[in-house]
Structure formats: C-alpha cells, structure tokens
Structure 1
C-alpha cells in the first residue's frame, strides 16, 4: 500500500471519527472538544511522522539514482573513449 493511501486513510478516519464522536457524544461539549483536540493532536503527530519517513525514503532513492546515473555516465565516457581510440 502506498504512503499516500495510508495518509489519506488516516485523515479520512480522523474526520469520520470526529463527526461520529460529535453526533453520539453523551458528554458536555467542552469535554468532547477537549478529547477531539487531544486525538487530533495525536493524529497530526502520526501524520507528521509518516511524512518525515516518506521524505527520508525519497531522499534515499534520489541519492541512489544519482549514484547509478554517475556510474552509467562514467561507463559511457569509457566506452566512448574506447570507440574513439579504435580505428575502423
């Protein structure tokens, strides 16, 4: 499952939970709002952690692609040198 789907699922679940919580809340509104804030802060922290993890994965992949590109470029330069040095 992709990270985008996970993040979208977390956000959707948070919104749905908040709406259901407000509709079915038997407590005073202040208590409900306090609980919602606490849960929202918790979910926001989870979302930030997931985004950081995704950012690190992208950075790692970009670094690997750069290494691979440099290796292919060096190989191409060597091949070009071999072809230029050979006589037909």
Structure 2
C-alpha cells in the first residue's frame, strides 16, 4: 500500500464538467488504479518510449483518452484533461 492520491487539475469543472457520468466514473476508476501503482505510474500510457511528463491513457475501448501527470514528489496523479469522442 502506498500514500499516493489523485485529483483533478485544475479542478473537476474544468476537466470533467459536462461529460457523461459513465466517462467520468471510468476516469476516476483508472485514476485510483494509477495512484495504487505509485511511482510506476510514470511509465503508464503514451508516450511509450520515455517516462514522466504528461501521459495519455485510452478509455472505453479507444472512444476517448485522458491526460495525466504522475508527480512522485507530491505522491499524486493529476488528471489534466479528458477527450471524449461522442
């Protein structure tokens, strides 16, 4: 078990406001899983050839993706944007 958390950056309304509830729930579920990975979250998603920086992760079978930052010094995952193809 680790002490990593996740949160919306800059905030829920900016990142997820207006999206379907199922999309938001899936991003929240994946964010919790990324936080459970802790430091290893810097390797998840795209780009695949390097660690760190802004990462992207597909959701719901490629119907969208979200961008996140894994910040080891804060022990946090920051969900920065969600792109949803309706």
TM-score of the pair, normalised by structure 2: 0.31
User: Considering only CA atoms, is the larger Rg found in Structure 1 or Structure 2?
Assistant: 1
More helix by share: 1
Normalised to the residue count of structure 1, the TM-score between the two structures is 0.30
